[in-house]
Amino acid sequence: MDNGQIIGTPKELAKGEARVAMTPESAIHLQKLGYRCAIQSGAGKLAGFSDDAYKEAGVEIIKTAKGLWEKAGIIAKVQQPESRELKYLAKGKTLISFFNPAGNEEGMEAAKTSGANVIAMEMVPRISRAQKMDALSSMANIAGYRAVIEAGNNFGRFFTGQITAAGKVPPAKVLVVGAGVAGLAAIGASVSLGAITYAFDVRPEVAEQVESMGAEFVYLDFEEEQQDGAETGGYASVSSPEFREAQLAKFRELAPEVDIVITTALIPNREAPKLWLEDMVAAMKTGSVVVDLAAERGGNCEGTVKDEKVVTDNGVTIIGYTDFPSRMAAQASTLYSTNIRHMMTDLTPEKDGQVNHNMEDDVIRGATVTFEGDITFPPPPPKVKAIAAQKKPEVKELTPEEKREKEIADFKAASKQQFTLLGVGALLMLIVGAFAPASFMQHFIVFVLSCFVGFQVIWNVSHSLHTPLMAVTNAISGIVILGAVLQIGSESNLVAIMAAISVLIATINIVGGFLVTRRMLAMFEKS
Question: Among residues 41, 51, 79, 131, which one is catalytic?
Answer: 131
Our answer to whether residue 327 is catalytic in this structure is no
Helix or strand run (H / E) with residue 514: helix 493-522
* Strand locations in 80-165 (E): 94-97, 117-120, 162-164
Rounded distance between C-alpha atoms, residue 152 and residue 174, angstroms: 11
Q: How far is CA 323 from the centre of its chain?
A: 21
Give the angle subtended at the CA of 136 by the CAs of 135 and 139, to the nearest 5°.
80
Our answer to whether residue 134 is catalytic in this structure is yes
In sequence order, the 6+-apart residues with CB closer than 8 A to the CB of 5 are 35, 36, 72, 73, 74, 353, 354, 355
* Strand locations in 121-247 (E): 162-164, 167-169, 173-177, 196-200, 216-217, 230-231, 235-236
In sequence order, the 6+-apart residues with CB closer than 8 A to the CB of 244 are none
Rounded distance between C-alpha atoms, residue 119 and residue 194, angstroms: 41
Question: Among residues 35, 88, 198, 235, which one is catalytic?
Answer: 235
Question: Among residues 26, 40, 97, 137, which one is catalytic?
Answer: 137
Question: Among residues 36, 126, 297, 365, which one is catalytic?
Answer: 126
Alpha helices by DSSP H, 57-129 = 65-71, 83-86, 105-114
- The full DSSP string for 233-298 is TTEEPPPPHHHHHHHHHHHHHHTTT-SEEEE----TTSPPP--B-HHHHHHSPTT-EEEETTGGGT
Q: How far is CA 483 from the centre of its chain?
A: 47
Rounded distance between C-alpha atoms, residue 80 and residue 223, angstroms: 42
Question: Among residues 31, 36, 40, 134, which one is catalytic?
Answer: 134
Our answer to whether residue 126 is catalytic in this structure is yes
Our answer to whether residue 333 is catalytic in this structure is no
Residues identified as active-site: 126, 131, 134, 137, 235
